[in-house]
Structure 1
Amino acid sequence: MSEEPLAIAVDSAPAARRPVRCRLCGRPLTGAGSRRTGLGPTCDAKLHPPAPGIRTRRHEVEQDTLPGLDPPAGEA
């Protein structure tokens, strides 16, 4: 075996990142979050719209009064 050191390119340019494109429209993604999810902000908003205001599922139903809560006869 030869005792030569391995050749290392010292002045080479840093490795460029591979361009990541949006899975929906194909545009290049620049933000870290967009690159992580694979969707740009516009396409992400199309697929995951913001939730509407919280709606309550309450509705009035006729119910019998609980025992012991009826006013005594004559006091009502």
Structure 2
Amino acid sequence: MGDEPLAISIDSAPEAEPGSRPRRIPCRLCGRPLTGADSRRSGLGPTCDAKLHPPTVDIRTRRHEVDQDTLPGIDQDL
């Protein structure tokens, strides 16, 4: 999504008059109005962005001990 052009160019938007309401930019996924600068820039609200880009799973947290048979030739009396 980094090289993908924005659906709405925020930089080319005309300057709003002082005291007027900012232009409404809807979320591209759910259509709710976006309020944060990062959300308006990406076109996705924080909830929808989390749905499309879930955090990566740390493989170290998934390790667990496994019962194994002893190898032949190794004494168990150690």
Q: What's the TM-score, normalizing by structure 2? A: 0.49
Q: Is 2:63 the counterpart of 1:20? A: no
Instruction: Give the residue type in structure 2 aligned to 1:44.
Output: D
Sequence identity of aligned pairs in percent? 68
**Superposition deviation, residue 14 in structure 1:** 3.8
Work out the number of aligned pairs and report it. 44
Q: Is 2:39 the counterpart of 1:42? A: no
CA distance in 1, matches of 2:18, 2:28: 29
**Superposition deviation, residue 18 in structure 1:** 1.0
Root-mean-square deviation (Å): 1.9
Report the counterpart of residue 38 of structure 2 in structure 1. 33
Between Structure 1 and Structure 2, the one with more helix by share is: 2
The higher-RCO structure (CA 8 Å, 6+ apart) is 2
- C-alpha deviations, 1:10-62, integer Å up to 9, x for none? xx75443210000000000000000000000000000000011046xxxxxxx
